[in-house]
Structure 1
């Protein structure tokens, strides 16, 4: 595989007392795996790096190293620069989502089966709005993310796939970081 810029999205680190991971130590760990130009964004587990590994291989390496070297068990989902560019370009809720902190992208570890999504009645979630595309679900939560029904945990349970979410501001920042 050619060298690509990728982002690893770690689920559930630095939330509460468990899974505390200092960003300098995380960067050092990722560099020790052979990844280059490693940068982190925020404390919520966003790592940008360059590698010749496939996204799936990179995710597995990072998950294994986190558990082995830092005693932290965390799901890791990866996307390439091109994946992030396509997510931003799609922006299916851009016409209603006017606050980037309330507009979430839920990243799925794999493409979900269509039936659970088809069976959902969007009216059950009003005023929240969602749109599924590929391995992402875009969610607009105008009343706030804290009280949202459509969380990554909801999607994970419904679809039976590992998930994690980032707000639109973070997703666009990660795209910028993978561009350099």
Structure 2
């Protein structure tokens, strides 16, 4: 049984490292049985219909990227409904959608890990955990952060990948289109 998924790969095509052409990203997904594949911008955003279990598909993509490209990058996917719910639950006022993010985590962090991460300085930035998502709002944009989402992620003990709300909205739109 196929299911529509929003598939995100962490940290590709930024700063000249971990280059993953989107044509190859689509080809790797297709080689694992995905269909109706569309990518959005070059940062590893894909919407597709995947066979079977979404988590198994994500692990297969991680292995395929590592084998083909020579580096490991985590993959996180959600159903379009889960992505839409994350957007609806965003707890912060949206001053600029480019300053507000959803970080899709591989797992829900423990209460102890969240408490430890709360000890880290954030300046005027804000973050909040809702289930498997970390919501972020940067006071001056992600390019000039006062808080380190990487440090927060390390304290939480789970990996993930963040997208600004403009990208999240676009992925929801792409997922809802009939291929």
The TM-score with structure 2 as length reference comes to 0.90
CA 1:141/1:23 → structure 2, altered by over 3 Å: closer, same or farther? same
Structure 1 gaps of 5+ residues are none
Q: What corresponds to 1:163 in structure 2?
A: 160
Deviation, structure 1 residue 121: 5.3
Computed over aligned residues only, the root mean square deviation of the Cα atoms, in angstroms, reads: 1.7
Secondary structure (helix, strand or coil) at the match of 2:26 reads: helix
Q: Moved runs in structure 1, 4+ residues, more than 3 A?
A: 149-152
1:7/1:48 contact within 8 Å kept: yes
Q: Which residue of 2 aligns with 1:80?
A: 79
Q: How many residues are matched?
A: 176
Cα-to-partner distance string for 1:82-132 (whole Å, 9 max, x where unaligned): 111211221211xx222010001111110001123235258x423112221
Structure 2: gaps (5+ residues): none
**Offset from partner CA, 1:32-89 (integer Å, 9 cap, x none):** 2110011111111111110132221111011011111232321111111111121122
**Pairwise mapping of residues 132-143 of structure 1 onto structure 2 (< 5 A)?**
132-143=129-140
Q: 1:133-156: per-residue Cα shift (whole Å, max 9, x none)?
A: 001111111212122244441232
Residue 36 of structure 2 aligns with which residue? 37
Aligned residue for 2:173, secondary structure, equals helix
